[in-house]
Amino acid sequence: MYKLSLKRTILVLAVCLLGVFYSVPNFIKDAKTTLPSWWQPVNLGLDLQGGSSLLLEVDLDAALKDRMENLEDSARSALREAKIRYKSIGSNEKGLRVKIDNPNARTKAHTPLRKMDEGLKITEDGDTLVVMYDEQALNTIKLKLVDQSIEIVRKRIDEFGTNEPSIQSQGYGRILVQLPGIQNPEDVKALIGKTAKMTFHLVDSSTTPTEAKRGKLKTSSRVIRGSLGEQYVIVKKPAVGGETLTDASVSFQDGSPAVSFKFNNLGAKKFGEVTRNNIGEQLAIVLDNEVISAPTIQSAITGGSGVITGNYTAETAQELALLLRSGALPAPLNILEERTVGAGLGADSIKAGINASIIGFAGVVVFLLVAYGLFGLFTTITVFFNLFLMLGVLSLMGATLTLPGIAGIILTIGMAVDANVLIFERMREEVKAGRSIRDAIESGFTIAWGTIFDSNLTTLIAAAVLFYFGSGPVRGFAVTLTVGIVTSLFTSVTVTRLFITAWYNKYKPKALPI
């Protein structure tokens, strides 16, 4: 206590100086553009710097319809393998309808149809089997669709370069997207809304689009539009799925922008087999239910990569590559609500928060000086260091500060002096009990530590609960509060102790100045 350890002193001062250093960008204008990436200010949330807020709805019915259409092929294969004759198979978002005339065959069909996927149940409607997911499986599928949609939206927005977006589930099948600093979200909306589902299909060369419209069309094929308005007849079942893509980037073919893509091992193997077995046939590249290219297979492509060419500009090629990298949305997204928050509101909020912080800090300082004199002055300096440390840690974390976050800072200003109040009151009690000044100071820090730790631990647990169960601004408050608790524990005990120890060793006082 009474001999200042040089290592300890250097360590405490180093931590304080680092906190000041990393907090400096918060006081520099245009720090985002003028300072290096490792030395940046705290990010401001939507409510402070303005921006856009989008409420999206996942079209679960459309996704379920696609899932059921995919089950059609599985049902045909399953019945064919079981040697069960069926009259027709149709689907919608509610399930498959398999018409089988023979009653014995209908009964026999239950087993292979139920095995197509987990959670399927089968009911009979006359001569038709209705195949659908049970309630538990359906809820699981819908939750996964929403979670997948959130992750894809997050990837796309991250690639777009939006600073500190907030993307979270809100209610049933809805996603809230907050984009700080974005005042015109049209480009982001277009990027988010594209399904970007790419698949590779063999073109059905046994018929033409004209013949298909006249009825000459296999049940395993369908007619689809091309990007230039032309028509193609393609095999329904994808030869290679877009989910096997691992990367996509802009390249140039004969001086024109194009998109290069790569498959994972499974996709590369499938792509190699398809191109090897269908030389001379066309392979249609389908993006969002539209053929963007249908090149003729000249030879087996076994390298696991390819190039999409077309009438692309550098911008459209970059956008397509971005969409393919981030992955396809499992379901279409509908924009339910769009709000733009002006930066003026954020500026008013920041000003109000700063004023509240100044008033709160001034009140705390007056109390400390009146109640504890010189030790109150030490605590005031400590609170300053605590604020700098908080800002420094939040800046280093790349945290986003919102209005609730400012409330957390204001709260920790008051909490920061709690520990010192406990320590100083303990010192007074020790002096009244007849102990020396030196022993009273030592007891104040030693005995009060257990109480200080317990009180801050309970607050830390509350902050952890808020962070785990909360979302958005609530989490921001929890993060700020947690950082404030940790920094105030450090400054109120370690830094204040350093000041008081240095003072005592220099002046050897006969009485406590509190």
Length of the chain (residues): 514
Fold classification of 6-46+342-507 (topology level): Multidrug efflux transporter AcrB transmembrane fold (1.20.1640)
Top-level CATH class of 199-310? Answer: alpha beta
pLDDT at residue 21, rounded to an integer: 95
* Residues linked to residue 306 through DSSP beta bridges, in sequence order: 261
pLDDT at 314 (0 to 100) = 86
Domain extent listing, the chain: 6-46+342-507, 60-139, 199-310
**What is the Cα 431 distance to its own chain's centre?**
55
Distance CA 433, CA 422 (A): 17
Least confident of 229-233, 316-320, 390-394, 463-467: 316-320
pLDDT, tens digit (0-9, with 9 covering 90-100), for 339-387:
887 766 567 767 777 787 788 788 888 988 999 999 999 999 999 999 9
79-135 pLDDT, tens digit each: 988 999 999 998 888 889 999 999 999 999 999 999 888 889 999 989 999 999 999
The closest of 73, 110, 352 to 236, measured between CA atoms, is: 73
161, 163, 164, 168 alpha-carbon torsion, rounded to 10°:
-50
All residues at 6 or more sequence positions from 295 whose CB lies less than 8 Å from its CB, including other chains: 282, 283, 285
The terminus-to-terminus CA distance of the chain in angstroms comes to: 19
Beta pairing partners, 291? 226, 286
Fold for the domain defined by 60-139: 3.30.1240
Which two structure tokens, joined as six digits, stand for 175?
């996603």
Question: What b-and-e string marks burial along 40-73, b requiring 16 or more CB atoms within 10 Å of the CB?
Answer: bbbbbbbbbbbbbbbbbbbbbeebbbbbbebbbb
The confidence score (pLDDT) of residue 345 equals 58
- Which residues have CB under 8 Å from 82's CB, separation 6+? 108, 109, 111, 112
pTM: 0.61
pLDDT in tens, 76-91: 888 988 999 999 998 8
pLDDT in tens, 269-314: 888 888 899 998 998 888 778 888 788 888 888 888 878 777 778 8
